[in-house]
Chains A and B, each alone.
Chain A
Amino acid sequence: MAVYHLQIVTPDRMVFDGQAERLIVRTVGGDVCILARHIDYAAPLGIGVARVTDDKGVTRVAACSGGMLSVARGEVRLIATTFEWADEIDAARAAHAQQEAEKKLSAMRKDDVDYALAEAKLKRALIRQQAKG
């Protein structure tokens, strides 16, 4: 299959820089799949599981949240807030974060300023566990 140049960056490192066949990632509008020769495209990212298939056909799963996806002239860039490969995820920590967030949410009212924050935290914890499998 045709490949394209994919870069995945987070504030603290360059996660991926190389040829890829396919990228599936969750944007605010739902999951999108980017193949080679995709039209120029830009979208803010949601919180979801991402799948990257490299030029050898190996697919890796990751938990991805926040930031932006941009396709410009065949160059694909995933500028993520967090991007963790499944094998880097600490399942116990994610489960702990989930419990913490749930506890916090149940103690909060919906119009609390931190409600959205705690909700996002819970979502991230769930996605991490989902990516871990």
Chain B
Amino acid sequence: MMVDFAKSPQLPLGIALREVASFKNFIAGQNGEAVAWLRRAIGGADERIFFLWGESGAGKSHLLQAVCREITALSEPAAYLPLAQLPEVSPTMLNGMDALGAVCVDDVETVAGNAAWEEALFHLFNRIRDNNKMLVVAGRSAPAQLPLRLADLRSRLGWGAVCQIKALDDDGKMQAMQQRARGRGLELPDDVAAFLLRHYRRDTGNLFALLDRLDETSLIAQRRLTIPFVKTIIDQ
């Protein structure tokens, strides 16, 4: 049977282009100080324990993963532990982590109230501090507001550098979307980016997910991103 390639839609490759979270592709917005602080720590500064907090989509996970990437580029192992995405994992996952160059714990509120996890995090903190390694913990609220049961853990999390990570403003979000699109060889014109910001939920997580969908659809349909085309996809 002959296949008419001209008529069949082009299927995207099985391997999607992975978005690597690095400091280079992090648009800092109002978070310049936190970024500078983390980079100094990677470079060996004394301040090595951090707590980043802020709303979802503000860029915390990106920063944590960027830290891991930079540390491994220095030939030191590092771990990123997104607790919300590791529901099957027990606190023994933290064993031995204090020997790594950096440990980055995300979504810490997920285990708040869980005695075994709280104690394991407390011990991890102590060991990392004793070993002078780097620890970055991220959560939705500042340590004082986390529903933790173990006061020792709360006080330690508030001991390091506590930074609020603030979401980008609309200009920053537009820049972030366009940068992400460029990384995929996709052109996202200003008017289309502005259209997305006007018609869609504006947290970067959702915007990026939408961009992924647009990327895939435009590749299959072999069409550039225009407002009418984007509208049809959103309406679907």
Q: Do A and B make up one complex?
A: no
Interface residues, chain B, with chain A CB atoms under 8 Å away:
none
